[in-house]
Chain A
């Protein structure tokens, strides 16, 4: 931390140099951009109607910036949600009982399903203003980011080592100081890696969040997503290609300018006490270190934030464990309140859907659910058959492993739905069966999770075991089934679990595809939800989402969790 009150050194340090000038120009440009974008947002809908999307590639930088800004806004909203919801859940036992199960379910709901409901809500809030549509788009992205971030924060706070918690209490830190000195720092590494995961989800949503339909009117917000949408409508495959390139650049920029520095910064908050091998310092961090003024300003800001966290706000915690058994009557009242709310909700739901939803409709949606389940399982099996051997092969070669892992991670972050049009054009052109040929789309983006986890597992295979394998001349079937497959199993399960969740979500996007006027449908629950969304049939969308969430939750509980536990217990090196 910089020593305050030494004017001479401060003025010497603060003298701007070359790197300062570049960076400051960039910051000013950003400010101008935000200002102009805000002005645009406040215009009434009529001025910037649907016709405003032009497929001329020269417009793409502007669209890309708009999309980027939307992503930032959503990320910011997710952070606010995380710092309130998760903290409340971690601090209050009664709140925890309700908030955590809710979060658990929200995590399993296919995010595309939220679309219909958020749009209606926000357009109602700001009728006739672009702001409403803009907020709806941002909230849609938010729903794809917030849940796992909040969950990671909650878990970090709950698993703070008891000795550190005791040290904080022993030195008499107030609630505020404890939060900023202990709980937030401990949560940062998990939060940053979850933010990165969230971003991939957000990119996937971009395509759907920027075109907003309310009743008869369709509002198109300028952005990469709506650009792709327009390209599909106008059957312009080149425009799709341009959009992919623009998206590639945006994701690269996000990665280099935001996440590399963030990850490097967050590593200092890791709780393990051993010094782990450090990754190379990102170029942006090195550049800022070389500046004078920015560095000085950065140090000042850090110091202020540090002091802000040290303000003696709040009560001192007087003991770690309160000896009082929480009062029973309060608990009973709390449960009674929850019960009452539940009963009212059930009644309300019943009244809303009564007569609008038939029993056969529910049965039909469950039947469709099994069709989609079949697709998901088939695709996971297929992707595993391809990527497990490939991943093992790559992972055992140290030089290749690192590079392949970076590429696979990047591919996982890239919104696969931008590639859908290429497949759809192929299916239309060759008159293929859409029930079968639309299926691979759902695994297109999430297969990479399997690949990079398997690579990670294979490259972590201990050197002494590798030598033992060579020494005993273990080859062929034995090598696969007794050595490598068990060794990568914990990693594979993690990857497959993530891939499976993603595939369910993608089914809504992939079972119904459009190319101009042509619409391809693969019969399944995803198509059911997508069709209901287009038709604006909220009840059917709701039914579809409930059924799909149930499938996802059951599949997780009955298949992935037992598998994961087994792999963690029996197949890890420790």
Chain B
């Protein structure tokens, strides 16, 4: 690549990889071989599920986190720490509760050593621009969530950054407030009133991404990787009900629910050991959420088949809530997700139509067959004379392939499933799995 090409880009991410060392041989890979070029004058969205490493990438670009390997160029130069031309807006706002709105906004200027007089002028400009005029002397505690995020925005904009990084900036806000803030931001961007050249936004909401961005990078999870890149060419302001808009949203759903090749599960328990290495992370999915979803799909107006974007809109569920439920139903062969649709299988329909004991029996068979972790734990419990086994060992095994957080979530979910299906029980005090009298009779 020639030198001129380099200078055209604000940010260039080359072959970035982020991993955390584990105590055993394998590393936990969060981001794998990511490339990204960011030009002036565009809003780029990083879209993916939780655990896809998109926030990690944002922190690498901000200079807060050095990549394990690969390089990040900022205006053609190697990035070696927080750069002056990059400012960040946080999901949790990250405001200092003991500073007033104005002091919060001035913080970045003060750190830069801007003269006091100029600090005050710049802060006033930013505060007025973002619609906070009159709130200068208020403390963050006194403000609503939407106003707090405006402070976060003003604090980032006041330093006139070339690049504005936004880490799920609207996901801690309610639907109406988020919409209001998004619209205001886009309006300022279109009118070229924002003192920034480019915006990079992390989101897990497909509609938000299509509404705001000129370009989208779609991430896959475990490890995080850019799997698709899309251009969004609709003019602002964009209309959610526009057929072309809907079509693009549908297409992204299809891309994101693309079924990955899963190795066939052997039926004989003898091969459990080899499968044990392949425990996958399961998000927090209580039983009633899965049953509720299956029942909703079965009932009118869906009658067994639903369009995912519409379902998400009706149920007010974000991508991060909806897809895991669908995938879990898919794992149990209760449902099928393809082309942006979710369809109940015959087994799924049978599950919904059954009474409680039959449901349990259907669920039990599905879980034993398709969730290697539950099968492995049950096998160990059957072998033990006292039918008890420490959870520690399984937690360790899970942490070989996932972060401790995911390991905890996974265990919590499978305990819920196993209790429902009466496969085994869990004793929190002693941190042990065990079989109670009812469980033992079931095979």
Kindly state whether residue A9 has any CB partner on chain B within 8 Å: no
- Residues 180-215 of A at the B interface (beta carbon under 8 Å): 181-182, 185, 188
Stretch at the interface among B23-31, B60-68, B193-201, B361-369: B60-68
Interface size class of A (residues with CB under 8 A): 35 or more
Query: A316 to chain B: which residues have CB within 8 Å?
Result: 81-82, 111
B152 nearest in chain A by CB position: A167
Kindly state whether residue B326 has any CB partner on chain A within 8 Å: no
Chain B 133-175 interface 0/1 with A at a Cβ cutoff of 8 Å (1 = within): 0000001111000001000000100010000000000000000
Interface-centre pick from B93, B95, B98 (highest chain A CB count, 10 A): B98
Contact among B81, B110, B112 with A319 in the assembled complex (CB-CB below 8 Å): B81
Complex Cα–Cα for A316 and B82 (A)? 9
- Contact A274/B66 with A170-B82, A268-B98 known, Cβ cut-off 8 Å: no
Decide: A323 and B66 in contact? CB cutoff 8 A: yes
Decide: B141 and A273 in contact? CB cutoff 8 A: yes
Decide: A163 and B90 in contact? CB cutoff 8 A: yes
Shortest Cβ distance from residue A182 to the other chain B in the assembled complex, whole angstroms: 7
Decide: B110 and A310 in contact? CB cutoff 8 A: yes
Shortest Cβ distance from residue B162 to the other chain A in the assembled complex, whole angstroms: 14
Complex Cα–Cα for A140 and B91 (A)? 48
Shortest Cβ distance from residue B123 to the other chain A in the assembled complex, whole angstroms: 12
Kindly state whether residue A164 has any CB partner on chain B within 8 Å: yes
Interface size class of B (residues with CB under 8 A): 35 or more
Shortest Cβ distance from residue B62 to the other chain A in the assembled complex, whole angstroms: 6
Contact among B82, B94, B103, B113 with A164 in the assembled complex (CB-CB below 8 Å): B94
Complex Cα–Cα for A174 and B81 (A)? 13
Kindly state whether residue A320 has any CB partner on chain B within 8 Å: yes
Kindly state whether residue B414 has any CB partner on chain A within 8 Å: no
Kindly state whether residue A177 has any CB partner on chain B within 8 Å: yes
- Contact A169/B96 with A181-B107, A273-B140 known, Cβ cut-off 8 Å: no
B88 nearest in chain A by CB position: A170
Kindly state whether residue A269 has any CB partner on chain B within 8 Å: yes
Query: A163 to chain B: which residues have CB within 8 Å?
Result: 90-92, 94
Chain B 107-138 interface 0/1 with A at a Cβ cutoff of 8 Å (1 = within): 11011110000000000000000000000000
A166 nearest in chain B by CB position: B64
Decide: B90 and A166 in contact? CB cutoff 8 A: yes
Contact among B88, B98, B107, B148 with A269 in the assembled complex (CB-CB below 8 Å): B98
Kindly state whether residue A359 has any CB partner on chain B within 8 Å: no
A174 nearest in chain B by CB position: B111
- Contact A319/B107 with A269-B98, A271-B97, A274-B141 known, Cβ cut-off 8 Å: no
Chain B 243-272 interface 0/1 with A at a Cβ cutoff of 8 Å (1 = within): 000000000000000000000000000000
Kindly state whether residue B87 has any CB partner on chain A within 8 Å: yes
Kindly state whether residue A270 has any CB partner on chain B within 8 Å: yes
- Contact A170/B64 with A268-B139, A274-B141, A318-B80 known, Cβ cut-off 8 Å: yes
- Residues 55-80 of B at the A interface (beta carbon under 8 Å): 59, 62-66, 68, 80
Complex Cα–Cα for A163 and B62 (A)? 13
Interface of chain B, helix or strand or loop or mixed?
Answer: loop
Contact among B59, B81, B84 with A166 in the assembled complex (CB-CB below 8 Å): B59
Contact among A182, A273, A320 with B64 in the assembled complex (CB-CB below 8 Å): A320
Contact among A182, A275, A319 with B65 in the assembled complex (CB-CB below 8 Å): A319
Complex Cα–Cα for A489 and B155 (A)? 45
Complex Cα–Cα for A308 and B139 (A)? 21
- Residues 289-347 of A at the B interface (beta carbon under 8 Å): 306, 310, 312, 316-321, 323
Decide: A169 and B98 in contact? CB cutoff 8 A: no
Complex Cα–Cα for A378 and B359 (A)? 56
Decide: A319 and B63 in contact? CB cutoff 8 A: yes
Shortest Cβ distance from residue B65 to the other chain A in the assembled complex, whole angstroms: 7
Complex Cα–Cα for A127 and B231 (A)? 83
Interface-centre pick from B111, B139, B142, B159 (highest chain A CB count, 10 A): B111
Query: A320 to chain B: which residues have CB within 8 Å?
Result: 64-65
Query: B155 to chain A: which residues have CB within 8 Å?
Result: 171
Query: A173 to chain B: which residues have CB within 8 Å?
Result: 107, 111
Kindly state whether residue A536 has any CB partner on chain B within 8 Å: no
Decide: B96 and A164 in contact? CB cutoff 8 A: yes
Interface-centre pick from A170, A268, A321 (highest chain B CB count, 10 A): A170
20 CB < 8 A contacts A-B: A167-B90, A169-B64, A170-B82, A170-B87, A171-B111, A172-B82, A172-B84, A173-B107, A181-B96, A272-B97, A273-B140, A273-B141, A275-B141, A310-B110, A317-B81, A318-B63, A319-B64, A319-B65, A319-B66, A321-B65
Beyond A318-B63, A569-B428: 13 further Cβ-contacts under 8 Å?
Answer: A166-B59, A170-B62, A171-B108, A174-B111, A270-B97, A273-B93, A273-B95, A316-B111, A317-B81, A319-B65, A320-B64, A320-B65, A323-B66
Interface, chain B (partner A; CB < 8 A): 59, 62-66, 68, 80-82, 84, 86-88, 90-100, 103, 107-108, 110-113, 139-142, 148, 155, 159, 428
* 6 tightest A-B CB contacts, nearest first: A318-B81, A171-B108, A163-B94, A167-B94, A185-B98, A275-B141
